[in-house]
Amino acid sequence: MNGTRHAGVVLEVEAAVALLPGSVGTVDDLVRGGPTALDAARNALSGARTVGLSEVRLEAPLHRFNRDILCTGWNYCDHFEESKGKREGQDPATRPARPTFFTKGPDTVIGPVDDIAYDAELSGQWDYEAEIALVIGRDGRSIPEEKAREHIFGYLVANDVSQRDLQRAHGGQWLKGKSIDATMPLGPWLTTADEVADPDDLRVQCRVNDVLLQNASSSQMAFSFARIIAELSQGMTLRAGDVILTGTPSGIGSARDPQVFLRDGDLVVTRVSGLGELRNRVVSTSLT
């Protein structure tokens, strides 16, 4: 059982989940349905069957994507600085004055406990990147920064697993090295914006084999959630259901000395305070 198929939403209450009736719809339906759909889901909680969280297998909360996952690069200053001189001649002249955007294919998305696909023949540089993802809940174009948070439905935990050699090998653009199938854990559930007291003070962490490699606060972002939405939406319509990754903090494997890259069998745990935890095993998979 899982929240996506049975209820459209998973609510954690004392290590239990409430399974809402199918008539409520999926999480994708709730995101696109606006306040009316969300109110209906909340009303359906009364009398809903609950089961222990350990009795369900959670899938990625979202399955129906409007387009590629929208992503923000270099959004923590320490992360930008740690890779200076390590980008194989692709360093920008200065720290970006505005957000850097790229996309990754939706087929990258896996669930919060699914295996991360790993193919050593495809790449030798599989890197971890803990991130906060936000989900747009209201269409908008050229959204003013002061109104941007009104367009956020909620937040998730993500890990933008990247293949650094592929990222560098295709003209300096990032699409290829960010879009390998079954490599981006997302979840464990979608936390609505009203449940996040202070999005600007969330702790972002990544552990590999129980070693803490990333540990930062969202307060260290160069560009806030609102600024990201405002800049990205300039002349470009953002639609309900769009997923936006907001950048990773310092500590990535490719910037370490010696470098630390993921290998078959590694356990990657990605955690954001208040949003939950992803636990994903890196598993050898033929992708070629």
Region label for 276, one of left (φ > 0), alpha (ψ between -120 and 50) or beta (otherwise): left
- For residue 125, give the amino acid letter: Q
> Given the DSSP bridges, would you call strands 69-73 and 130-136 parallel, antiparallel or unpaired?
unpaired
Q: How far apart are the C-alpha atoms of 219 and 103, rounded to whole Å?
A: 24
Segment 75-97, tens digit of pLDDT: 998 876 886 766 666 676 678 88
Which residue numbers in the chain have pLDDT < 50?
1-13
pLDDT over 90 for what percent of the chain?
A: 83
> Given the DSSP bridges, would you call strands 203-208 and 211-217 parallel, antiparallel or unpaired?
antiparallel
Burial of 285 (0-12, 13-18, 19+ CB in 10 A): middle
> What predicted TM-score, i.e. pTM, was given to this entire model?
0.92
C-alpha distances in angstroms, 73 versus 64, 129, 223?
24, 11, 10
Closest CA to 76 of 268, 252, 256, 271: 252
SS in 3 state form for 214-270?
A: EEEEHHHECCCHHHHHHHHCCCCCECCCCEEECCCCCCCHHHCCCCCCCCCCCEEEE
Segment 162-211, tens digit of pLDDT: 999 999 898 878 999 999 999 999 999 999 999 999 999 999 999 999 99
- Which stretches of the chain are assigned E, i.e. beta strand? 16-19, 49-52, 69-73, 100-104, 109-110, 116-118, 126-127, 130-136, 152-159, 162-163, 184-192, 203-208, 211-217, 243-245, 267-272, 276-284
